[in-house]
Amino acid sequence: MADVHSVEIRRRNMSAIRSSNTAPELILRQALFRLGFRYRVHDRKLRGRPDLVLRRYRAVVFVHGCFFHGHECTAFRWPATRERFWRQKIDGNRRRDTETVRVLRSTGWRVLIVWECALRGRSKIGIEETARRSAVWLRSNKSIGLITESRGGMTAHQARRCRGHHPPSTRQTSRPGPQGG
């Protein structure tokens, strides 16, 4: 399928996509701040420059966009154009994300991944529920946590096995309860 935009318009659209301070990230930051959490943003000293660093809880939070991080949810769809390019890019992002989580955990950091679909789309759980689940996880002793759309919850075992990226075969359509492992 051909692109509906000219090369110039597509370039302008793609260059406008931010890698930090995205709308989902800002919404979550504001909600956690209202709940009393204090944090640093995009700490360059830590692998992957986490979106939020909560030293008091020895925890980092990544707010991943479903498209660029290849989250197999209702919000994600493989592009029909330049398939090879996008598969390489998204698969590379997934590998880098997995390695980042591994390195952070090996240095004693707890890692929470909040997927964009938890905040946007048909199956979203909304900002209040996402912030509540984040707060519960931050106050827990769990080493890794995932917050995703209401239809895409994972068991703790699946979260540990997949390190934040789950293929369609591990998606569950039941209970939207607390996420994490």
Give Rg (Cα) of the chain.
16
> Is residue 54 within 8 Å of 61, Cβ to Cβ?
yes
DSSP β-ladder status, 110-115 and 144-147: parallel
Whether this model's pTM surpasses 0.85: no
CA distance 163 to 104: 12
What domains can be seen in the chain, in order of their start residue? 19-170 (3.40.960.10)
Q: How far is CA 151 from CA 48, 59, 92, 160, 173, in A?
A: 28, 26, 26, 19, 5
- The order of strands in the sheet holding 110-115 is 52-54, 59-64, 110-115, 144-147
Return the SS3 of 54: strand
> Is residue 68 within 8 Å of 83, Cβ to Cβ?
no
Burial class (CB in 10 A: 0-12, 13-18, 19+), 158: middle
> Is residue 109 within 8 Å of 77, Cβ to Cβ?
no
Angle at CA of residue 108, ends 150 and 71, nearest 5°: 30
Q: What is the pLDDT of residue 160?
A: 45
Note down pLDDT in tens along the chain; length 181 residues.
566 667 677 566 555 555 567 889 999 999 999 999 999 999 999 999 999 999 999 999 999 999 999 998 988 889 888 899 999 999 999 999 999 999 999 999 999 999 999 998 888 999 999 999 999 999 999 999 999 998 644 444 444 444 444 443 333 333 344 444 4
Q: How far is CA 66 from CA 2, 58, 93, in A?
A: 23, 25, 11
Q: What is the pLDDT of residue 11?
A: 60
